[in-house]
Structure 1
Amino acid sequence: MPAGFIIPARHVPPLMARHTKAGYTTSSGLSLAQPNMAEGQFDMSQTADSEIAKIREEEFESKSGSDNVEGASGEDQDGERRPRKKRYHRHTQHQIQEMEMFFKECPHPDDKQRKELSRELGLEPLQVKFWFQNKRTQMKTQHERHENTQLRSENEKLRSENMRYREALNNASCPNCGGPAALGEMSFDEQQLRMENARLREEIDRISGIAAKYVGKPLLSFGPSPLSSIPRSNLDLAVGSYGVQPNIGPDIYGSSSGGEIGNRSLVGPTEGEKPMVVELAVAAMEELVRMAQLGEPLWTSHPEDSTDILNEDEYIRTFPRGIGPRPYGLKAEASRETAVVIMNAINLVETLMDVNQWSSMFPGIVSRPFTVDVFSTGVAGNYNGALQVMHAEFQVPSPLVPTREIYFVRYCKQHSDSIWAVVDVSLDSLRGNSSSVIRCRRRPSGCLIQEMPNSYSKVTWVEHVEADDRAVHHIYRQLVNSGMAFGAKRWIATLQRQCERLASVLASNIPARDLGVIPSPEGRKSILKLAERMVTSFCAGVSASTAHTWTTLSGSGAEDVRVMTRKSIDDPGRPPGIILSAATSLWLPVPPKKVFDFLRDENSRNEWDILSNGGLVQEVDHIANGQDPGNCVSLLRVNTVNSNQSNMLILQESCTDASGSFVIYAPVDIVAMNVVLSGGDPDYVALLPSGFAILPDSPKCMAVTNSGINDLGTGGSLLTVAFQILVDSVPTAKLSLGSVATVNSLISCTVDRIKAAVMRENP
């Protein structure tokens, strides 16, 4: 390149200096000679750099439209003509300040605003236009630079976090063997299983932490029951007592305090056993949820009634761990049932986790329940995470079917905002008496509860037990062996009926015309509460519980009359004295619903009720407590033939569902009943309930319609008749054999009358 040749400005990038042999030449034409340092001249580079920076700043701040107006034309691009130098106009400080202030108010002025501003500042409109363009570009550049700085910072954080994860993955170890984990070689299923395993371990750790709070707590220890110290002879007929007692265990009428199984005391888990209980409960919860949700091949449908049948081989493959192999002599029963009930999920969970509400909800199934130990009451003000050790007996309302005694842990968990689960699993290895023979144990059983609109819940119940049923009487064996006596269908049917009953109790919008002789809603609730206690008392006293022993009076087979006595002392709910209970069960070749309708009808009552003495029975009023017409509480008046005798009132509750029916009644004092009708406390009304329990003799009779148990089947009925009689008002009196003979004759005569009447109506 010849010395002194200047490159045209349009070919040089703005704000850049070119190096030539002669020195530095800027885009403005300024030439800065490069000094010869060897000749001792001083260094001018610092001065040149500062001058270049100054020129750049001036160009950025004050560049006007002279590039377009005064720049080189197209004719200058041939290199033969030297381009004219650009002229740059530096704005005054006043002009810059005014335009800065205007820019803050309006970054995009229009032509009129630019002309007005140029006139005020003494500038050309085009200069104002370019200044605003440059200013906008500058602001955009600053904004992008700030965003880039933030993004660079976030990127550095992500990079460091990624490095930590990579380091953690490189150092990962197998939770089973402790060796390095080859994560890249895992299958998808194996990764999912390991993630699930980690989640379960976290849940175990969480519940174990809750349980650790109770490790130092003294364990519940219950001494022997006073009932065990009373001599039991054939003449005394195993006389016990109820009334005011220490908190040593549930009596036959369902109180839920204490901790005694039969004649031996029961203690809770020890400190070393608590982690095992927690781990077992968590595993049981996972099994229950899968059992409730899985279909084939784990569950298959029965060809006749569409009930779910468990595939045992598939169950063992799906749940290989469980609670161990089935003990010798036990038979497996598994069933599943789904229904919608009229109760919201929160209230239903509370009912299942509270032992008193649980026994009241299932009076015909649950007997003598009590809580042995509480590991956790839940978190966040509800039962999520609640875990407790319990004991209960599960019963069939007949002295011919032994109760199933189970010692188990109950665990509640909320799986989502609308789904809860409550699971039970037996703790056989933690029994107070490890040498006892296991006759029943409960594999993971319970229910999955899904919240639905309008305070309804969808409940899926799973019942999975292993039991020894060799002591069951032969007339009940088919029902028990089919799983219907203790299965999920019975739990669900009872739950549906009891939820309807509870909704009736809580109803407040009852029309005045439906109140009848009951003057107020408070009186209605008192009547229903009294009837509930009557039903609970009847169901708790009619089964073959370990708390009491029946004495057989005759040897004629299935219709043996079994009796036992109790002493009532200082119990406001029962009259004081010696009370004799008598019960028997028999088979009738009549469908269950026809037997139920016959026994609950007041018009046919004098055909079997000896105590009415042939008088006319009239229904004074009744309270419907379910969709089926047979579900109601009735107040009956017996008009005796002898007008000199005072009229007698009878409180009766009849209830029916897909699993069975009850007709339970008790004579009540007129004065006490008037107090209840006005809304008084029903707990002080003395009752001795008697009545009937009606079950189908086979699963074929359990097909249902909208009106209850189907009466079109060909099966028969299993009828239990039970009475409670006050034989002496002095609790310390001796029981006479004459009283026993009278009760035996009473129940035998009642059975004969019922058999004759139903057979006459159903030849």
Structure 2
Amino acid sequence: MTKNSAATDKGKEAVGETSTPAAMNHTDEDNRFDGILLSTSRSANESPDVLSYCAEDGEASEQGNKKKYHRHTPYQINELESFFKEYPHPDEKQRAELGKRLNMDGRQVKFWFQNKRTQLKSQVERHENHLFRQENDKLRMENIAMKEAMRNPICKYCGGPAVLGEARFEDNAPKIENARLREELSRIYNLAEKFLGRECLSMATAFSSVHPESSLERTVGRMGLSSPGTMDGAASLVTPSLGGVPGALNPNAPAVPTIGATSMSPGGAMYVARALEALHELVQMAQTRDPLWFNTPDGELLNYEEYLRLFAANDDIKPAAFITEATRATGVVMINSFALVEAFMDVSRWADIFQCMVARATSVDMMFNGMGGNIGSLKLVNAEFQVLSPLVPNRHVQFLRCSKKQADGVWVVVDVSTDDLGDVSNGKLPLPNCRKLPSGFIAEDLANGLSKVTWVEHVAYDDRAVHNLYQPLVSSGMGFGAQRWVTTLQRQCECFTVLMSSKNTELTTDGWKSMIRMGNRMVYSFCTVVSASTVHKWEKANVGNAGEDVRVLLRRSIDVPGEPSGVILSAATSIWMPIPRRKLFDFLRNKELRNQWDLLSNGKLVEQMVHIPKGHDPGNSISLLHTNSANSAENNLLIFQESWTDGSGSVVVYAPVDHRNMNLVMSGAESASVALLPSGFAIHPDGLSDSELGKNSRRGKEMMYGGDGERGACLLTAAFQILVSNVPSQKLNVASVNAMTTLISFTIHKIKEAFGF
């Protein structure tokens, strides 16, 4: 082999050309570095490849046997960089299309991508080597310090030289424990400083100014008897920022009382460590793409094998009997990121926004509140999540909610359960039926007050109590998953925008606002009744002829604002309907067809008196209806109704109201004085894909088509309430239960009859 030919071969190797097939495949190590690339955002102007060259044809030129090189244009570099961020390993077809678009040879494109991957790999290796050298130097210095301390021990009594063999371990045990706790506390503060963006004063440093460490304590601290990756010492920490002095991490935050386990510094230390770890994991899951997530017709689902590879330590967090549900969704909402985070950190506002999903929510403890800075807030929350059906049990979760400002216009909110941490004084908490693994969203500001929300919902739950009819809906993530959270948030933000921009000429401003508040109260009451939320104390109706398909419950209302006092009976049932969801929703809210199923209309036509739009969809609105009847008593009865629909489901809620009371509300009086017992319907997708429908012959045969050719089916839940007695202590009788079951059966029958089955 000549010298020139050897140089030619070396040049081919430099641009990535090789004759071995193995070299053409990216290795596992390449995958690891390619994963790092996905979280890297660099423009073409910052790339070192702007001045790169690529071999052309691999032939020697006639002048000096030198290779002929081709210099890429800035436009080509920019396009290659952009494509590389999405597809670091393009296939042959993608390379050919890219080369054709950029006027480049296919081999030039291939070599550019090989060189880019090699370049990135080298950069990461250099960075890791630098970190390893720093760690090596640190360990070497600690080793020297430890030897020095062992060489010159100091007697604790006289301060002079001492022989180590004469000291007993029992004498030094408190100092050893003290040094270990100092080091653990210092680690917690370092974590807070790293993730929360605020410089924190170490408690160990504060103690050292009053009680200087002895040589033994310094030696134990340097030896690092507590592992940096454990929380063994957290049970004895004294953390004023989480316990006795709320807001120490943020001096400007208002003082708030602390209650429960978090008022104890041990629990607070463990909670803040859990929240910071969860925040880090959420950011990774929200920003990482394939292979961690894969697309389905219902949205993005988690590749659990890849998740365990990235977060192996989290596999034991899920109880053995639980199954995992993890989804991701992205959407644009009509609110800026900071206002969105403020709403989420206010638990009452958050529950109001998601009233169809959050049955109950309470803030147990505000650990610190730094809204307005980079720290954000950290609080402990109890919540109850629901799907509007008696066939799906509510999920009860206690979790930490942490917010943090990532960058200008970018905020993160993460939720993570704490039940596995338990209470250090009372032991483990009772095992719930659901546990939140790191879940939440990243909100990034866009133009015109909009923001882009990337939502990750990751939970482990016990599915054994979910009815088979709702198993597809829940297991697909459409019941509690990320897509439902994003869709509901988009609808509520749109509703707020429409209400603020529209002017209702039928009502005064106070009357318009009063009716909106009344509608919110009615929908919330309906949702808590359908899911049998713990907001109310329920008793099972053990009399009457209610079948297994109808759930009948009673509750005793005593001086509850906004509802009548007495014995209230409720009934709810869910059925599968071979009707497209939108078609069924339009039928139920159509005032001209209402007399076909609603007993309140008494078979008469219904007219609309007031209409308040709550979205661009005509189905999202508040209405006041009345029957067109010659009977004065019937004309005095009005129907107050609110309806809405989005991609996750639809709701039609209504309640009978007195004409005189509604006149007061429309004139601006407080609507809380109007007693409501709402009834209505909730409609969800059935959660079945086309292939699953084919396996079920009954559903396949009964599948109907709408007028626009839409094929589909849905799950319909009907719920009704009646006041059976004005005396709360009154016993329930059989006639009331039979009347309730007859009412719900009659209504379902009439709806089916209207569609011809």
When normalised by structure 2's length, the TM-score is 0.63
Q: Residues 555 and 568 (structure 1 numbering): CA distance in 2 closer, same or farther, change over 3 Å?
A: closer
Report whether the alignment pairs 1:566 with 2:574.
no
Alignment of 1:292-691 (within 5 A): 292-302=286-296, 304=297, 307-322=299-314, 324-379=316-371, 381=372, 384-431=375-422, 434=428, 436-507=430-501, 510=503, 514-515=504-505, 517-518=506-507, 520-545=508-533, 548-549=537-538, 551=540, 560-640=549-629, 642-643=631-632, 645-691=634-680
Aligned to 1:322, the other structure's residue is in SS state helix
Question: Of 724, 749, 752, which residue of structure 2 is paired with 1:752?
Answer: 749
Pair 1:563–1:206, CA change in 2 (3 A): farther
Structure 1 residue 735 corresponds to structure 2 residue 732: yes
Deviation at 1:361, TM superposition (A): 0.4
Write the letter of the residue equivalent to 2:341: V
Contact kept in structure 2, 1:592 and 1:711, CA below 8 Å: no
Judging changes above 3 Å, is the alpha-carbon distance between structure 1 residues 556 and 726 closer, same or farther for their aligned structure 2 residues? closer
Question: Structure 1 residues 170 and 569 mapped into 2: Cα distance closer, same or farther (>3 Å)?
Answer: closer
SS across alignment from 1:620: strand
Q: In the alignment, is the contact (CA less than 8 A) between 1:383 and 1:412 conserved in 2?
A: no
Alignment of 1:83-122 (within 5 A): none
User: How many Å apart are 1:733 and its aligned residue?
Assistant: 2.6
Q: 1:629 to 1:537 in 2, by over 3 A?
A: same
Cα 1:640–1:728 change in 2 (3 A) is: farther
One-letter amino acid of the counterpart of residue 673, structure 1: M
**TM-superposed deviation, 1:699:** 5.3
User: Cα distance, 1:409 vs. partner?
Assistant: 0.4
The percentage of counterpart residues that share the same residue type is: 46
What residue identity is the alignment partner of 1:535?
V
Over 3 Å counting, the alpha-carbon distance change for 1:557 and 1:172 in structure 2 is farther
Work out whether residues 604 and 627 of structure 2, in 8 Å CA contact, stay in contact via their aligned partners in 1. yes
Alpha carbons 1:691, 1:721 under 8 Å: kept:
yes
List per-residue Cα deviations over 1:179-202 (Å, max 9, x = no partner): 589xxxxxxxxxxxxx9x977664
Evaluate the alpha carbon distance shift between residue 739 and residue 630 of structure 1 in structure 2; reply closer, same or farther with a 3 A threshold: same
Deviations 1:334-370 (A, max 9, x none): 1000111111222211111111101110011111211
Distance, in Å, in 2 between the alignment partners of 1:550 and 1:593 is: 35
| CA shift in 2, pair 1:637/1:557, >3 Å | closer
Aligned to 2:401, the other structure's residue is in SS state: strand
- Aligned amino acid, residue 288 of structure 2: L
- The answer for the alignment partner of 2:178 in structure 1 is none
Q: Give 3-state SS (helix, strand or coil) of 2:568's partner.
A: strand
Q: What SS does the aligned partner of 1:329 have?
A: coil
**Pairing partner for 1:215 from 216, 223, 243:** 243
Structure 1 counterpart of 2:739, one-letter code: T
C-alpha contact 1:413 1:421 (8 A) present in aligned 2: yes
Classify 1:645/1:391 alpha carbon distance in 2 versus 1 (closer, same or farther; 3 Å). closer
Q: Highest Rg: 1 or 2? A: 1
Match of 2:151 in 1: none
Cα drift, residue 326 of structure 1: 2.5
In structure 1, runs of 5+ residues without a counterpart are: 1-167, 182-194, 219-257, 260-264, 702-708
CA contact (8 A) 1:340 1:458 kept: yes
Distance of 2:566 and 2:529 partners within structure 1: 17
Q: Is contact 1:592–1:695 with CA below 8 Å preserved after alignment?
A: yes
Check the 8 A contact 2:327/2:456 in 1, yes or no: yes
Q: Distance in 1 between matches of 2:136 and 2:472?
A: 61
Contact 2:546 2:737 (8 Å CA) reproduced:
no
Larger helix proportion of the pair = 2
**Quick one: distance in 1 between partners of 2:736 and 2:545?**
21
- d(CA) in 2 for partners of 1:408, 1:642: 55
Cα RMSD after superposing both structures: 3.4
| Contact 2:511/2:666, CA 8 A, preserved across alignment | yes
Distance 2:478 2:574 in 1: 18
Deviation at 1:412, TM superposition (A): 0.5
| Cα deviation code 1:283-329 (max 9, x no counterpart) | 11111111111111211223x45x21211121122223337342111
Residues 155-194 of structure 1 mapped to structure 2, 5 A cutoff: 173-174=138-139, 178-179=142-143
Partner SS for 1:273: helix
Separation (CA, whole Å) in 2 of partners of 1:721 and 1:596: 12
- Normalising by structure 1, what TM-score? 0.63
Structure 1 pair 206–749 and aligned structure 2 pair: CA distance change class (3 A) = farther
Quote the offset at 1:610 in angstroms: 1.3
Give the CA deviation at 1:385. 2.5
Tell me the distance in 1 between the aligned counterparts of 2:657 and 2:483.
34
CA distance in structure 2 between the partners assigned to 1:712 and 1:490 by the alignment: 25
CA contact under 8 A between 2:239 and 2:266: conserved in structure 1?
no
Q: CA deviation at 1:676?
A: 1.7
CA 1:540–1:299 in 2, change beyond 3 Å: closer, same or farther? Answer: same
Distance in 2 between the 1:449 and 1:754 partners?
A: 42
Instruction: State the Cα distance separating 1:572 from its structure 2 match.
Output: 3.3
The correspondence for 2:280, drawn from 280, 286, 291, is 286
